[in-house]
Copies of this chain bind each other. A is one copy, B any other.
Amino acid sequence: MSRKGWRSPKEVRIADVARIAGVSTATVSRVLASPDKVRQKTRDLVLEAVRQCGYTPNSVARNLRKRRTMTALVVVPNLANPVFAQILRGIDEELTQSGYGLVIGSLDNCEDREARYVELALSRQVDGVILMNGRIPEGNKRTMREAGLPMVAMCAAIDDDKIPNVVVQDREASRAAVEYLVQLGHRRLGYIAGPPSNIIAAERLAGFLEGIAEAGLSEKDFVKWDGRFVFSAGVAAAEAFLKLKDRPTGVYATSDESAIGFIKVVRAAGVRVPEDVSVIGFDGIEFADYVEPTLTTFRQPLHDLGRKGAAVLLKMIHKQMQPGDWNIRLPLELLERDTTRAIPDGTRKASRQGRGKPHLVSH
């Protein structure tokens, strides 16, 4: 019961256990790491000693010796964004399953905080890094790569064949969003963009423009509003929308949040959704199903994305990369809900009416 004469419990070392059990530190270490290499009797002796003084190995020392930390760093732009939160859950799950830990580095939209995380990685505190922010300065990226640090990019296709990519098919889904609206009979579209500097936003814009071209539409047939993937961007877009005389009948918002902001404001101004304007979002966050009317959107396979990303990182760490691992692009799923509908007298090509089964976007 009493522990007099001992170090404070927080400072029990392997040597203390060894002394109590009457064996060497090597044996204690073995009991804990590979019990089958130690005779039963000795093992029991050691385990009893461990129990008695409440020993937990110091993993800082272990990490130093083993030259690895069993931990990965994930750099995200923003913790408050539910999209990242979901991806993180997937990552966490995959890593945990393999005995790895996770350090989350949130930039909180301050790009300069990145330096700290780069240092964390470079100083060997983690075994690998997953990048989810669109804009890692080239310098940092190169430094880390040269340091031989396993890395995975989950922001957007990075044109660097040393860094594997795990992303969703932003471009394809964007194109499909246009196609979907056009099929419903919409000929005049609105586009709520992401931040111009963001790689993902650029991908989605490219897809949108491809869709426009494929539908035989031109620049005159759509309005584009800049945004930042957030609620307020949708609000701003809606305000611009309301001022137009020739309003779009179909709006594609590149994030659910901005779609929700848009809908809220136009409805407050008496514009009905979907009767007067159809809106389709992007992300598939939970709240998209909570709002009224429920939001039609492309669902990102966030959880899966996270798991795949982490899986690739682990392969990278264990040097088991295979050809197919370098460029993974997951499909999105169209969730047809209540903010979109066909123009009654429109000249629709397809006859998909009302609620259909969600369909998968293929490459």
Residues of chain A having any CB pair with chain B under 8 Å: 8-10, 54, 56-61, 63-64, 69, 79-80, 82, 85-86, 88-89, 92-93, 96, 101-104, 106, 108, 113, 116, 119-120, 122-125, 143, 146-149, 231, 260-261, 264, 267-268, 286-287, 290-292
Contacts and interface: CB of A to CB of B under 8 A. Distances in A.
A125 B60 contact: yes
Given A56-B119, A59-B124, A292-B292, 4 more contacts: A60-B69, A89-B106, A92-B106, A287-B290
Contacts of A292: 264, 267-268, 291-292
A149 B89 contact: no
A69 B60 CA distance: 9
B69 A79 contact: no
Nearest to A263: B292
A182 to B, nearest CB: 29
A324 B56 CA distance: 33
A250 to B, nearest CB: 21
Nearest to A286: B231
A148 B116 CA distance: 29
Interface core residue of A60, A86, A231, A260 (most chain B CB under 10 Å): A60
Contacts of A123: 56-60
A123 to B, nearest CB: 4
A151 B280 CA distance: 46
Contacts of A268: 292
Give the oligomeric copy count: 2
Nearest to A57: B123
Contact of A92 (B9, B93, B108): B108
A80 B82 contact: yes
Contacts of A124: 58-60
Contacts of A261: 290
19 contacts: A10-B149, A54-B147, A56-B122, A58-B64, A59-B120, A59-B124, A60-B60, A64-B64, A79-B85, A79-B89, A85-B85, A102-B104, A103-B103, A103-B104, A231-B290, A261-B290, A264-B292, A291-B292, A292-B292
A120 B101 contact: yes
Given A264-B290, A264-B292, A290-B264, A80 B86 contact: yes
Which 6 A/B pairs are nearest by Cβ-Cβ distance?
A: A10-B148, A59-B123, A56-B122, A10-B147, A60-B64, A80-B85
A86 B267 CA distance: 29
Nearest to A149: B10
B125 A59 contact: yes
Contact of A103 (B85, B101, B146): B101
A119 B64 CA distance: 18
Contact of A113 (B9, B85, B96, B147): B96
Interface core residue of A116, A119, A125 (most chain B CB under 10 Å): A125
Contacts of A119: 56
A190 B130 CA distance: 46
A287 B64 CA distance: 45
A48 to B, nearest CB: 18
A17 to B, nearest CB: 14
Contacts of A267: 292
Nearest to A235: B290
